[in-house]
Amino acid sequence: MNTLVLTAHPDLSTSTANRKWFEALSDIEGIVTRNLTSVAGAEMHFTPSVEQALLEQADRIVMQFPFYWYSSPPVLKAWIDQVLLFGFAYGQGGDKLQGKELILAITTGGPAESFQAGSFNRFSMNEFLTPFEQTASMVGMNYLPPFVLHSAMSRDKTKLEASIAELISHVTKPRIEFHNKELIKAF
């Protein structure tokens, strides 16, 4: 299985969790990591044909990012807008992503228990992530359970290290081993 990891952090040099994840995933055979901020620069400009060629070679795409204002940092939205084009991802002839898999790998500042009705974040992660789930559906991708590390800023080193092994296991797991009931991997 060829896996493409799209890492969308505005500055990995200031990151703790996403930098660790990016470095660990970069060492795994069969995984190609792509730091979208380095690729696109401050203008967030992508070359669609380059990104699309990488997508065509992948069976599974992982979007890895810190949760920013209930969504991804803007570089991932720029990538989606510039790459998932008519005739490639949807519309006539737009079947190039059909059957591929999508996994989201996310770190949040908020604790797990805040992502529910009655707490300050009010909604579940799955509810916040529905635009990604629907984007996958629109382009014919199979949306697999997201992997979420909560309280990412307050994690001690040991817990962050432990999340790396769990993340690798999650993103390398064959699709057949994901069960319907398994909604989200929260720490």
The site for ligand FMN (CB under 6 A) is made up of 9, 15-18, 66-70, 107-110, 152-153
The position carrying tokens 């970069």 is 26
Q: What is the smallest separation between the CB atom of 122 and ligand FMN, expressed in angstroms? A: 12
When the beta carbons of 41 and 109 are compared against ligand FMN, the nearer one is 109
- On whether the CB atoms of residues 111 and 159 are closer than 8 A, the answer is no
When the beta carbons of 16 and 172 are compared against ligand FMN, the nearer one is 16
Q: What is the smallest separation between the CB atom of 52 and ligand FMN, expressed in angstroms? A: 27
Give the residue nearest to ligand FMN (CB). 109
Q: What is the smallest separation between the CB atom of 139 and ligand FMN, expressed in angstroms? A: 25
Of the candidates 73, 52, 64, 66, which has an alpha carbon nearest to the alpha carbon of residue 15? 66
Of the candidates 169, 172, 175, which has an alpha carbon nearest to the alpha carbon of residue 100? 175
Tokens linked to 79? 């990538």
Beta-carbon contacts of 138 under 8 Å, excluding residues fewer than 6 positions away, are 89, 90
When the beta carbons of 70 and 86 are compared against ligand FMN, the nearer one is 70
